[in-house]
Amino acid sequence: MTQLLLFNVTNGLIIGAFYVLMALGLSLILNLSNVINFAHGGFLVIGGYIAYTITPYIGFWGALLLAPPLTAIIGLIVERVLIRPLYGRDPLYSLLLTFGLAFMIEDGTRFIWGPQGKPVTIPPFLAQPLSNDLFFITGYRLFMVAVVMIAVALLFVLLRYTRLGVRIRAGTLDLETVAALGINVQMLRSLNFAVGIFLAGLSGVLAAGQLGLEPTMGTGLLMPSFIAIIVGGIGSLPGTLAGGLLIGVASGLTAVFLPAASEAVIYVLMAVVLLLRPRGLFGEEGMMT
Amino acid sequence: MSSSIFNRHLDRRTLIKGAAALGTFQATSPFIIQARGETPIRMGMVDPLTGVYAAPAGNEVMGAKLAVEQMNAKGGILGRQVELLVEDSANDVGTGVQKARKLIERDQVNFMIGDVNSGIAAAIAQVTAEKKILHIVSGGHTDSITGKDCKWNVFRVCNTTRMEANSVSNVLFTKYGKKWHFITPDYAFGHTLYEACTDDLKKLGGTVTGNELTPLGTTDFSAYLIKARAANPDVLILLVQGSDMINCLKQVVQFGLNKQIHVAGTQQELESLAGLPPEARVGIWMFEWYWKQPGVAGVEKFVADIRKVNNGKVPTARHWFGYTSAMSFALIANAQKTTEAVKLAAALENFELPDDVKLQPNKVYYRKGDHQLMTSAFVGEAQSKGKDDPEDLFQVDEVVAGDKTAPPVSETGCTVRWPS
């Protein structure tokens, strides 16, 4: 039993790491632009399909490098054309827009690539488990965790030490003052959106290697990512990181005792956190109210 | 400077409300396939064109469309052209029922086909029975539809879960072993399929080491697989379908579990095998229809016809379900020279499908008593790569006739009550 628990905690951390990658992108966009991006799962799917399409020409590693920036470019266009006109309005406008956009992306991918799932093969040396006992730790899953760690580290370096990062953080706290200091806020939002969508694209490439690549793939992954943000605390990137890992572990542990509740438990966790600490685990009081 | 370009007030409640909306909102996208004719006969079709079953549902619709085209070319039904009206159930019971009511009340359809999802199919059957519309369930497998909840107006083309289990249990037991562990989708289809498999297993003298009930649309199966592996079974039986099957089987193979335990199941579909990388196409399964049947009348023509409308790809069992459902209406209505539902339902009892519709070797008929089509099970093994054709992903070892896999009517729990 102890072994089973230990296995599931480790497994939960691996799954949580993936949620973190999704949730960080969502969180970036939400924090600076107040856009609840329901189309984030759609961008994940776009990333996956772009990788699937270019893999025959440039291989898995080439696709891993190229698909996320291509997805980010699509994100930039969407931001410029659809989302920017809504910045001054109530957040519900952009929420509804991205909600509709999510369906359009799902049907669009179905139209272009067909409703049937696409087979994605990963390099054979990654598709092996470490050992017979620790079968759930495959090379690919470790690789995923490594990519997430690198992405998170780079993101923190970007936000802490670069001019763009400092401006994004400053804008999150007080966008009006940032604009008054002569910084191009529109450009800042665009770049920030692109970074968020880049992370969605990267999640898409990674997910396609492990899950079936099909147009609805993003839907099931989006909800846990939202919950990770709410549990971790809106406005706090370390909170998002903790939230993602926490719901991964909670979901894994519940699967041992009460499998039927393994999906519901993340909602219960969210409810409990909201009741006891409405700002989320790491959220600052008054951050988003 | 105006403050309007800056962020408006966003509170946590808005975010949570939005998140709740994502979980509950259902998209719907109806469309109609028109055919010519002054007073056309209308067939309604409700299938989950969006969601996890989008691929099989789309193929059922394609099969039904082909049938309608072919019947219209031969003069339609009773000399009238046929129109197929397709609605998306979005894999949601409420939406499916609403769409079925719309088709019957507003569009005045004469016949109804659907749904891939067992729960929706059963719910639509309530509506069609109430409205006295002849209804063929194309692809929902749960037993009760032609079992304890059977209805005078409802017939079914695809197998029951009991038939699926009976076709393959013996082979799995003999070849793979007697301790079985299940990964089961947590809704009507999964529950009855699990019951059928465990009944067979008990009769054969085997044991169940556990059952992991997984929600429809599960993406990560690792926690369930860790539990299953810990129970140390001989066979891991996957009862999940659609994208769940793809996700689960892909993870099973990446974890190397197929090298430690046998991995198999009952129902497998070409849509799922095609969506898997070659190394994950493993195990013994049953197909409900297969496109490669050398020497069987009509199959080659059907494959060629579907290829023309399916980007050159071969038909799957789902194409055949849709095709056979629509064709059954035309055959029986033209034979009886009426569209009156009660008369047609009575005539469909023990009605045998002709060669160019049944497209398989054994006798195929709608059984009197429970209205279940006695259709064959194609038992065999998944192939990582096709030999002559890249889509030949299944090696059929045996084609078992439907009346050998179906339990007798007396055991189905069905008593058909005709309207007075």
Please write the tens of the pLDDT for every residue from B129-162: 999 999 999 999 999 999 999 999 999 999 999 9
The reply to whether residue A263 touches residue B29, judged by beta carbons under 8 angstroms, is no
Q: Does position A285 have pLDDT exceeding 70, yes or no?
A: no
| Chain A residues with beta carbon closer than 8 angstroms to that of B316 | none
Residue A59's Cβ-count burial label (10 Å; 0-12, 13-18, 19+) is exposed
Structure tokens at B364: 């195929």
Q: Residue B24 in contact with residue B90, Cβ under 8 Å?
A: no
Nearest CA in chain A to B52: A216
pTM of structure: 0.84
**Cβ contact A259–B257 (<8 Å):** no
Give the SS3 label for residue B237: strand
CB contacts < 8 A, A to B, total 190
Q: How many residues does chain A have?
A: 289
Task: Using CB atoms, pick whichever of A216, A262, A278 lies closest to residue B12.
Answer: A278
- Which DSSP category does B136 fall into? E
Chain B residues with CB inside 8 Å of A129's CB?
254-256
Tell me, what amino acid is at B180?
Answer: W
Write out residues 31-60 of A within 8 Å (CB-CB) of B. Answer: 33-34, 36, 38
Of B6, B21, B247, the CB nearest to A176: B6
Model confidence over A12-52: pLDDT tens digits? 898 899 999 999 999 999 988 889 999 999 999 999 999 99
Question: CA A111 to CA B410: how far, in whole Å?
Answer: 46
Distance CA B242, CA B268 (A): 9
The answer to whether B233 touches B258, Cβ cutoff 8 Å, is: no
Of A38, A87, A110, the CB nearest to B22: A38
CA distances from B281 to A235, B270, B291 (A): 44, 10, 17
State whether residue B98 is helix, strand or coil.
Answer: helix
Whether B13 shows a pLDDT value over 80: the answer reads: no
Distance CA B5, CA A84 (A): 9
**Cα–Cα distances in angstroms (integers) from residue B72 to residues A47, A101, B167, in the given order:** 43, 38, 36
Spatial contact of B153 and B341, defined as CB atoms under 8 Å apart: yes
CB B172 within 8 A of CB B264: yes
Gap between the Cα atoms of A21 and A70, Å rounded: 17
SS (H, E, C) chain A: CHHHHHHHHHHHHHHHHHHHHHHHHHHHHHHHHCCCCCCHHHHHHHHHHHHHHHHHHHHHHHHHHHHHHHHHHHHHHHHHHHHHHHCCCCHHHHHHHHHHHHHHHHHHHHHHHCCCCECCCCCHHHCCECCCCCCCCEHHHHHHHHHHHHHHHHHHHHHHHCHHHHHHHHHHHCHHHHHHCCCCHHHHHHHHHHHHHHHHHHHHHHHHHHCCECCCHHHHHHHHHHHHHHHHCCCCHHHHHHHHHHHHHHHHHHHHHCHHHCCCHHHHHHHHHHHHCCCCCCCCCCCCC
Predicted pLDDT at B358: 97
Which 8-state DSSP code applies to residue B77? B
Q: Report which of A44, A29, A64, A72 is spatially closest to residue A222, judged by C-alpha positions.
A: A44
Token couple for B170:
């013996």
User: Model ipTM?
Assistant: 0.82
Q: Which of B4, B370, B358 is nearest to B155 (CA)?
A: B370
| B21: enclosing H helix or E strand | helix B12-24
Residue in B closest to A120 by C-alpha: B277
In the sheet that holds B82-88, the strands lie side by side as B31-33, B82-88, B41-47, B111-113, B134-137, B154-156
Q: Can you tell me the mean pLDDT for A47-70?
A: 95
**Closest residue by Cα to residue A24 from A138, A32, A99:** A32
The chain A residue lying nearest B231, using CA atoms, is: A4
Q: Which residues contact B291 (CB under 8 A, 6 or more apart)?
A: B270, B299, B303, B314, B315, B316, B391
DSSP assigned state of B257: G
Taking CA–CA distances from B225, the nearest residue in chain A reads A136
Q: State how far the Cα of A200 lies from the Cα of A101, in Å rounded to an integer.
A: 15
Assess whether pLDDT exceeds 60 at residue B27: no
Residue A25 has a pLDDT of 94
B29 in reach of chain A (CB within 8 A): yes
State both tokens at B266. Answer: 């009952």
The answer to whether the CB atoms of A117 and B271 lie below 8 A apart is yes
CA distance B168 to A228: 43
Residues 6+ apart with CB under 8 A from A272: none
Cα angle A213, A219, A224; round to 5:
115
Tokens of B43: 């067939």
**DSSP secondary structure code for residue B354 in this structure:** P
Closest C-alpha to A144, from A195, A66, A202: A202
Beta bridge partners of B86: B31, B45
Q: Chain A contact for B198, CB < 8 A?
A: no
- Alpha-carbon separation of residue B172 from B179, B249, B284, B383 (angstroms): 11, 17, 7, 17
CB-CB contact of A222 with A269 (8 Å): no
Measured between CA atoms, the residue of chain A closest to residue B6 is A88
Q: How confident is the model at residue B10 (pLDDT cuts 50, 70, 90)?
A: low
Angle (deg, nearest 10), helices A91-113 and A40-78: 100
Contacts of residue B187, Cβ cutoff 8 Å, sequence gap at least 6: B118, B119, B216
Q: Nearest residue on chain A to B183, judged by CA atoms?
A: A259
* Interface check B13 vs A, CB under 8 A: no
Per residue in B95-136, pLDDT (tens digit) is 999 999 999 999 999 999 999 999 999 999 999 999 999 999
Q: Residue B7 has what pLDDT?
A: 54
- Judged against a pLDDT cut of 90, whether residue B77 lies above it is answered with yes
Name the A residues in 117-136 with CB < 8 Å from any B CB. Answer: 117-121, 127-129, 132, 135-136
Task: Write the single-letter amino acid at A280.
Answer: G
| B152, amino acid identity | W
Q: Which of A34, A37, A135, A177 to mutate to test the interface with B (most CBs of B within 10 A)?
A: A135
- pLDDT more than 70, % of chain B: 91
Short-list B96, B129, B69, CA closest to B323: B69
What is the rounded CA–CA span in Å between residue A97 and residue A150?
32
Query: How do strand B235-238 and strand B262-265 relate by DSSP bridges?
Result: parallel
Closest CA to B394 of B292, B324, B263: B292
* Alpha-carbon separation of residue A238 from A27, A38, A242, B360 (angstroms): 10, 21, 6, 60
Smallest Cβ distance to B275: which of A38, A116, A175?
Answer: A116
On average, the pLDDT of chain B sits at 91
* Whole-number pLDDT of residue B293: 95
Cα separation, B118 vs B56, in Å, equals 13
Question: Which residues in chain A are closer than 8 Å to B191, comparing Cβ atoms?
Answer: none
Check residue A81 and give its pLDDT. Answer: 95
- Whether residue B295 lies within 8 A of chain A, CB to CB, comes out as no
For residues A164-193, give the mean pLDDT. Answer: 91
Residue of B158, B164, B162 whose CA lies nearest to B322: B158
Residue B23: pLDDT band (50, 70, 90) is low
B34 pLDDT more than 60: no
Q: Quick one: average pLDDT of B213-219?
A: 86
Nearest beta carbon to residue A289 from set B11, B218, B271: B11
